[in-house]
Copies of this chain bind each other. A is one copy, B any other.
Amino acid sequence: MAKNSLGREIPAQWRGRTLDPYLDPWSRQPEVLRATRPLVRRAPGDSKLLPSLRAAIEACGLKNGMTISTHHALRNGDLLLNLLVKEMDAMGLRDMGIASSSVHGVHAEIIPSIRNGTITRIETGVNGLIGELVSKGELKCSIVVRSHGGRARSLVTGEVEVDATFIAAPCCDLTGNLNGVSGPAACGSLGYAHTDARYARKVVAVTDHMVRYPAAPISISQSDVDYVVQIESLGDPAKIVSTTTRLTRDPAGLLIAKYAAEVIEASGLLKDGFSFQTGAGGTSLAVADLVHRKMREGKIKGSFGCGGITGYFVDMLEDGCFETLFDVQCFDLRAVESIRRNAGHREISADLYANPFNRGAVVNMLDCVILGATEVDVDFNVNVNTESSGLLLHNTGGHCDVAAGAKLAIVVAPSMRGRLPIVRDAVTTITTPGETVDVIVTERGICVSDKHEDLKRELRRRNLPVKDIRQFHDEITRLTGVPRPVDFEDDIVALIEYRDGSIIDVVRRVRE
C-alpha cells in the first residue's frame, strides 16, 4: 500500500492487476503500441446476418472469462445489455466482464447474473443500484471506473481487451453500415461505439431498423462489422433521451449560473473563437442560456460547443454562436433532430473527444467547461463518483477529461445539499484532481484557484463574492456542522482510474 500524490492509499495490486498510483495530470506517457486485432476477409456475397443474439455470441466464440461491451447512447432506455447478459447467463457463460461505455439504472436487471457469477467484472463506471450494492458488500463484482477519454485510452492501449462488442444500431444495413440518426431507437451520435468498432476482436451490429444498403450516414462502417443481428427493439424511445434537460428554476441554482456566467466573462475567454461545454444539469443549462445571451448581445462568433449535446447548444449553433458542435452523445430530442439535418452538428468518437493518448483530443482545444460535483475539497479536488454516504452511485463521464483539457474548468454546485457542505476538508473520493479545476461557484461564494490571481482580481473588481476556499469551507461548515465521516471497511470494491490509466482513488466497502 502506497499513497499516490494526492495522499490516497493505493495498493500495489488489486484482484490480479498491478496498479500505477496517480502522479499528476500530465506526465504519464503512452509506452505501448496501439492495440491491434486479427484481420478478417469477407468475400462478395458473404452474409453477415445472424438470426439471434445467441447465434452472435456463439459466432464471436465467447468463452468463460471473456469481455463484452455495449455503448450507452440509449441510456436508461437501453434493452441490449440486459438481453445479452440474460443470454450469456442462459448459455452458462461465467466470469464475463462488461466493458460498456456506461452502465445505467436500467441495467439493475443484470444483478441476478452478477450474483450467480455470469458477470464478475465491470470495466466502466456504474450509475445506480449495482454500485450501491457493490459498495455495501452485498454484491461481488470488480468495478473499474473510467472516464470517457480514459475508456477510449484503455481500448486503444490494449489495457482492456474487448472480445466482442455489440453495437446498438438504430439504423443499419445488412453489411453493418450503421448510424444513430434514424429508426425507432434514434439516439443521435454513436460517439462511444467508435473505439469499440475499431478495437474489439469481434463487432456485432444489433438493430431494430434494417434499411436498404447503404445505410447513410455511415457512423460505423461495414469494414469494421463482423455480424448483423436484427432484434425487435433496441430500447424504449421515451427513456433514450429522457435526461431532464431543463433550466433550473431554483433561485440558488439561478444565482450560481449568474455567477458562473460572470466568471466566464471576466476570464476574457468570451470573445470570437470561444469554445464551450456544459453538462445537462439544470444549473449548467442555466449557465449555457446566460452565455448564449451574452454571445448574442455581444455578437460573439464562437468556435465550437462539445460534449453531450442538448437543445440549448443546438440553439447556439443555429444562432451562429458556434460554427460546429462536436457531439459524442445527444442528450435530448432536439440534439438528435439537429445532428440528423445540420451539417455543422458533427458526431465525434470518445477517442477524438477526450482520449489523452492520441495526437490531440478535442477537449484540449476547449476554452471553458461547466462541471458538476457531489463534493469538492479545499484543494479543488472534485468527487462525482460517490456521494457523501460513501456509496458508488455515479460514473465519471467526461469530468476529469474536460477539466484537464479546458483552459477554464468551472464547477457549479450549491454550497450545501441537505445538511452536507459541498466543500469538504477532503472529498470522499477523488474523481478529478484539483490541479485541473479552476473555479468553484456556489450561491454563497466563488473560489478561484491560486493559479488565476488575475481572474480573482477581476472578479473582485466586478464585486463578485470571491472567497478563499479554506475560509469558505469554514463558513459553510459553521452552518452545516462537520459531517460525520463515513465508516469504511478496508476492502476495496472499486478503482477510480484517472484518464491516463493511473489510480487516482479507490472505493472501499461501506461499513453498515
Contacts and interface: CB of A to CB of B under 8 A. Distances in A.
Contacts of A175: 360, 364-365
A257 interface: no
B216 A346 contact: yes
Given A217-B343, A344-B216, A346-B217, A30 B38 contact: yes
Interface stretch (A86-94, A221-229, A239-247, A426-434): A221-229
Interface stretch (A42-50, A75-83, A277-285, A382-390): A42-50
Contacts of A37: 33-34
Contacts of A344: 216
B35 A30 contact: no
A223 B359 contact: yes
Interface string A156-186: 1100000000000000000110000000000
Contacts of A116: none
A224 B41 contact: no
Nearest to A45: B364
Find the residue from A38, A157, A273 having the highest chain B CB count within 10 A.
Answer: A38
How many copies of the chain does the oligomer comprise? 2
Contacts of A498: none
A365 to B, nearest CB: 6
A357 interface: yes
Interface stretch (A55-63, A125-133, A348-356): A348-356
Contacts of A361: 42, 222-223
A29 interface: yes
A214 interface: yes
Contact of A223 (B29, B225, B352): B352
A250 to B, nearest CB: 33
A437 interface: no
A363 B222 CA distance: 11
A303 interface: yes
Interface string A320-336: 00011010000000000
Interface string A190-226: 0000000000000100000000111011100111111
A176 to B, nearest CB: 7
A404 interface: yes
B222 A48 contact: no
Contacts of A176: 359-360
A154 B450 CA distance: 53
Contact of A222 (B203, B212, B217, B352): B352
The A interface, classified by DSSP as helix, strand, loop or mixed, is loop
Contacts of A40: 30, 357-359
Contacts of A157: 39
A268 to B, nearest CB: 16
Nearest to A30: B39
Interface string A357-400: 11111111100000000000000000000000000000000000
Nearest to A34: B36
A346 B222 CA distance: 15
Contacts of A221: 348, 352
Interface string A88-109: 0000000000000000000000
Nearest to A31: B39
B36 A35 contact: yes
Contacts of A235: none
A360 B225 contact: yes
Contacts of A324: 214, 216
Nearest to A344: B216
B39 A360 contact: no
Contacts of A156: 39
A304 interface: yes
B273 A44 contact: no
A323 B216 contact: yes
Given A34-B36, A343-B343, 15 more contacts: A30-B38, A30-B39, A32-B39, A33-B39, A40-B359, A42-B358, A44-B365, A44-B407, A175-B360, A176-B359, A212-B323, A214-B304, A216-B323, A223-B360, A226-B359
6 contacts: A29-B41, A30-B41, A41-B357, A42-B364, A212-B303, A214-B303
Q: Which 9 pairs between the two chains have the least Cβ-Cβ distance?
A: A30-B39, A44-B364, A223-B358, A33-B36, A42-B360, A222-B360, A34-B36, A223-B352, A39-B357
